[in-house]
Amino acid sequence: MEELQKFLIFRKDSETQEIKYERFDVPKRKGMTILEALFYIQDNLDSSLAFRYSCRGAICGSCGMTVDKVPDLACRTQVSAVKSQKKPVKLPEFSFGKVPDWDQENEILIEPLPNMEVIQDLVVDMELFWAFYRKVEPFFTREWNDEAPESHQSSDAARSIEHLVNCIACGLCWSCPVNANNKNYFGPTALAKADRFIADNRLSEEHRKEIQTKVWSENAVPACEQYFVCNRVCPKGVRPGTAIKDIRDKWSKTE
Ligand code: FES
């Protein structure tokens, strides 16, 4: 007989706004990811289950959700590892609604990303996240006379910002307690991206100063309370909290 994995999944109806948790049993398969289990549910048990994904390879950053109370990427989390893998320490208690009798040992609990408005089921509204990202303008532009991104960077210079370049803007770090309490906080992603560009030798001086000024505003770098939850949940080793500290420590001295 095939072995089943139990799931307890957060549901929200976008029309009625009703919130509930639903149980599903998914046949276990070697190497199955959480995302694949959600596909199974959508294909075989409830086609209305809503969730985001694109690349299925931990690159696009679309499939962020909360798995057993830990923000994670559904496509890089194996079903078989959820109960046994080491969980990040000192995470806030994320609450989305009353969870009905969660059997923590046997049921995998799936909820949306924390601190974002839920649109439907596991799909959240990331508009605020992207608004702060756009505000920082962490990209090269001709307008600023930035140098062509493909030129004039030594291997050492590239290596020094490589971990920041790896950010896929998945929004897991928006689970920061500061984002929970301050709707105007830029969030760790936008600030880590700022550090990546401030430290990039191809950026024009004018553009660098502009980014520095933005991230020194009240709700940006100074609002970070150094919980480092972002460092612990980041799936790509970006260490956004350390990047924010880097801006605070290093770049403030250059002003
Ligand atoms: S589907 Fe792209 S990161 Fe998971």
Shared domain for 74 and 57, answered yes or no, is: yes
CATH number at residue 43: 3.10.20.30
Same domain, 156 and 211: yes
CATH of the domain at 236: 1.10.1060.10
- 137 and 110 within one domain: no
Do 90 and 176 fall within a single domain?
no
Cα 171 to ligand 1 centre (Å): 12
- Shared domain for 67 and 131, answered yes or no, is no
Pocket of ligand 1 contains residue 227 by CB under 6 Å? no
Number of domains in the chain: 2
84 and 167 assigned to the same domain: no
CA distances from 123 to 54, 104, 119, 126 (A): 13, 23, 6, 9
**Same domain? 119 vs 137:** no
The answer on 175 and 228 residing in a single domain is yes
Which structural domain range is residue 131 located in? 127-254
Phi-psi region of 97 (alpha: psi -120 to 50; beta: other; left: phi over 0): left
Do residue 153 and residue 191 come from a single domain? Answer: yes
Ligand 1 atom nearest to CA at 64: 4
Q: Please check whether residues 119 and 36 belong to one and the same domain.
A: yes
Residue 111 near residue 10 (C-beta atoms within 8 A): yes
d(CA 219, CA 244): 12
Residues 98 and 187 in one domain: no
CB of 63 closer than 6 A to ligand 1? yes
Distance 62 CA to ligand 1 centre (A): 5
**CA–CA separation, 65 and 34 (whole Å):** 10
192 phi/psi in degrees, rounded to 5:
-65, -40
Regarding the beta carbon of 194 and ligand 1, being less than 6 Å apart is answered no
**Residue 94 CA to ligand 1 centre (angstroms):** 22
Predicted confidence pLDDT, tens digits, the chain (255 residues): 789 999 999 999 999 999 999 999 999 999 999 999 999 999 999 999 999 999 999 999 999 999 999 999 999 999 999 999 999 999 999 999 999 999 999 999 999 999 999 999 999 999 999 999 999 999 888 888 888 766 678 899 999 999 999 999 999 999 999 999 999 999 999 999 999 999 998 899 999 999 999 999 999 999 999 999 999 999 999 999 999 999 999 765 555
